[in-house]
Structure 1
Amino acid sequence: MSSMKPIIEIKDLTFTYDRQKVLENINLVIQEGSFLGLVGPNGSGKTTLLKCLLGLLKPQQGQIKLFEQDIRKFKSWHEVGFVSQKASSFNTGFPASVFEVVSSGLTSKLGLFKVMNQQHRQKVLQAIEAVGLSDLARKNIGELSGGQQQRTFIARALVSDPRLLILDEPTVGVDAQTVQSFYEMLQDLNKRLGITLILVTHDISTISDKVSHVACLNKHLHFHGKSQEFEAIKDHDLSEFYGHSLHVLTHDHAH
């Protein structure tokens, strides 16, 4: 097997906010091509960790490398896509089509007022197709369901060809049936396009058969390993880590 490169390396990372340690001594390596589910209770530091990875916060100690380069020197941000929680801050009354919203993901490459050529259009259509919205490309984003809007924002992140896609609880406000197909779409992007994914989620039970790895964060990194190893952890061990009872598995495996 060809050796995979680490896409993210976090070493001895500590982040303090108002003299309160939010993250303490985090060590985590994420290999290229993996699909990591990042779980943890509210206030466990998940969003802080994402902000450190996106270069928005500077940790007080420790080191982060992206694509084997120190984050402080890292310039290739177009290789990192980010989708926030139900991009709910987005004004859905805004008169823009799916195509236009996805196109806006190219501005960093094109510069703001450059005209799109045929190749760019093709790219936008491919990103829309990758998230299964081809037949809605001309629809106004305000007319879409929550799940379809979220797919649009993923397409917008995909259009600049990221190697790493970070999603912060993207299924907030999306109904259960849609969530299932949404995770299947992410799994497909991971397997077919080889994009490394980090998914922050509360929804452990739904994703444990979709992701390749799980990391449990609660100020410290309590667990990082393959999803099969995670499924083998007993409920009571997890409850201890979460501080309240938690039932992980909703799907039974044949014994």
Structure 2
Amino acid sequence: MKRPIIEINNLSFTYEHQTVLEHIDLIVEEGSFLGLVGPNGSGKTTLLKCVLGLLKSKSGEIRLFGTPINEFKNWHEIGFVSQKANSFNTGFPASVFEVVSSGLTSKLGLFKFLGKEDKEKVYKAIAAVGMSDFSKRNIGELSGGQQQRVFIARALVSDPKLLILDEPTVGVDAKTVQQFYDLLKELNDKLNITLILVTHDIGTITDKVTHVACLNKHLHFHGNSEQFELTKDHELAEFYGHSLQLLTHDHAH
């Protein structure tokens, strides 16, 4: 068994009087690529916020890299790309290089200058997402898909062992989405980065991810992508609480 990167044990979370997560048990192993799926309001973002230490659960336990979350200090080992990355102010006067280098501020401090090694890290992260030709370009001049690659590079620049992406393809066209998923698979395969991707594109991710988790307040399914492929549509409809026409499991793209 590979080393667990995330261990969640009996986690429940309540907003005021509404229970959003109930008795969640989940282990994400090193090198895996987890697709986290579920309907709107199912608790996906809440679960991510608990893992990122942004929300504190009333009951249950989370361990990151074997350490209880309240004792965990190495937050630079976790990269995060939110869905809000898409609503980036395109008039903001910053180059791709500057945006990506801002991912080092947690390590360097806000007003430290980049040394030669740091600059090399920035260029390496930009290259990893295939954006080397755009390093001097203003972020506002890029397409939505290109911007998302830059935000991934910003998350990669601190050498994270875990990368979490919360619906990063909202508002991005279908062709770019496929290229984006190919990029994530490459990061997982070549750099061995553990990935968690929250997505609605269930049918299109099963050939990219290694594992799938279906969340709707409870964790209804967690297994590898082959097991998920064998799950019947009516069973998934039960997980979701409604019928799912989106589940095509179509890999002809």
> TM-score scaled to structure 1, two decimals?
0.96
Cα distance between partner residues in 2 of 1:165 and 1:228: 23
Q: Which amino acid aligns with 1:135?
A: D
Question: Which of 48, 73, 96 pairs up with 1:75?
Answer: 73
Cα distance between partner residues in 2 of 1:210 and 1:111: 36
Q: Decide whether the 8 Å contact of 2:203 with 2:248 is kept in 1.
A: yes
Uncovered stretches (5+) of structure 2, i.e. residues with no partner: none
Q: Decide whether the 8 Å contact of 1:12 with 1:27 is kept in 2.
A: yes
Question: Which residue of structure 2 lines up, in the alignment, with residue 102 of structure 1?
Answer: 100
Question: Which residue of structure 2 lines up, in the alignment, with residue 26 of structure 1?
Answer: 24
Shift of 1:88: 3.2
Question: Kindly tell me: are residues 117 and 252 of structure 1, through their superposed partners in 2, closer, same or farther at Cα, counting changes over 3 Å?
Answer: closer
Mapped pair 1:45 → 2:59 = no
Question: Which residue of structure 2 lines up, in the alignment, with residue 249 of structure 1?
Answer: 248
Cα distance between partner residues in 1 of 2:131 and 2:84: 17
Alignment of 1:1-255 (within 5 A): 3-247=1-245, 248-251=247-250
SS for the counterpart of 2:237 is: helix
Q: Which amino acid aligns with 2:108?
A: L
Q: Decide whether the 8 Å contact of 2:206 with 2:249 is kept in 1.
A: no
Cα distance between partner residues in 1 of 2:207 and 2:240: 21
Deviations 1:29-87 (A, max 9, x none): 01000000000000000000000000000001000000000000000000000000051
Out of 114-123 and 159-168, give the one that drifted further: 114-123
Would you identify which runs of 4 or more consecutive aligned residues in structure 1 move more than 2 Å? Answer: none
Uncovered stretches (5+) of structure 1, i.e. residues with no partner: none
Q: Decide whether the 8 Å contact of 1:86 with 1:169 is kept in 2.
A: no
Shift of 1:245: 1.4
Cα distance between partner residues in 2 of 1:33 and 1:67: 13
Shift of 1:89: 4.1
Shift of 1:252: 5.8
Q: Decide whether the 8 Å contact of 1:147 with 1:174 is kept in 2.
A: yes
Q: Which amino acid aligns with 2:191?
A: L
Deviations 1:2-48 (A, max 9, x none): x4100000000000112111000000001000000000000000000
> What percent of counterpart residues are identical?
71
Q: Decide whether the 8 Å contact of 2:86 with 2:171 is kept in 1.
A: no
Aligned length: 251
Shift of 1:249: 2.7
Cα distance between partner residues in 1 of 2:46 and 2:249: 29
Cα distance between partner residues in 2 of 1:11 and 1:219: 15
Q: Decide whether the 8 Å contact of 1:99 with 1:125 is kept in 2.
A: yes
Cα distance between partner residues in 1 of 2:219 and 2:133: 42
Shift of 1:91: 1.3
Q: Which amino acid aligns with 1:114?
A: K
Q: Which amino acid aligns with 1:9?
A: E
Q: Decide whether the 8 Å contact of 1:86 with 1:172 is kept in 2.
A: no
Cα distance between partner residues in 2 of 1:61 and 1:250: 36
Shift of 1:250: 3.8
CA RMSD of aligned residues (A): 1.1
